[in-house]
Amino acid sequence: MTKPSISFWVISVVALLWNLMGVSQYIQQAYNTESFRAMYTSEQLLLMDATPAWATAAFAIAVFSAALGCISLLLRKKWAYSLFIVSFIAIIVQNIDGFMRYSFSDFDSFALSMTIMIPLFAIFLIWYSKKAISKNWIS
């Protein structure tokens, strides 16, 4: 293995923090915490409460595999690439539910931007981990 650049470490840590926020969001939603419920209107909560189990499972798989992928990057393990692919597939599955049940009027600008940013960030992590493998930063 060759020594990775400083940007590798910065990107890996930022990606881990990003994905830990996703893990936190999942845990808050799964345990239906008071702080989670306070972030949404009653109409939004009704829609979220109707989320099918398969979409919730996809959410869990997406955030936990991405967080593990980031930890793998920091440990310089190439299975980070596979974990990021699993996460991306789970994001797509989760978004299928969202696009089937919600209309654009159900999204505020923040929710819409996150719906776009999350898969883009996942694609970036797939690309970046593949680049790290090709540069022999991870093995």
Q: Please report, in angstroms and rounded to a whole number, the separation of the first and last CA atoms in the chain.
A: 7
Q: Annotate 53-92 with DSSP letters as a single string.
A: HHHHHHHHHHHHHHHHHHHHHHTT-THHHHHHHHHHHHHH
pTM of the predicted structure, to 2 decimals: 0.91
Tens of pLDDT along the chain (139 residues) come to: 899 999 999 999 999 999 999 999 999 999 988 898 998 888 888 888 899 999 999 999 999 999 999 999 999 999 999 999 999 999 999 999 988 877 777 677 888 899 899 999 999 999 999 999 999 999 9
Give the residue carrying structure tokens 């829609």.
47
Burial of 122 from C-beta contacts in 10 A (0-12 / 13-18 / 19+)? buried
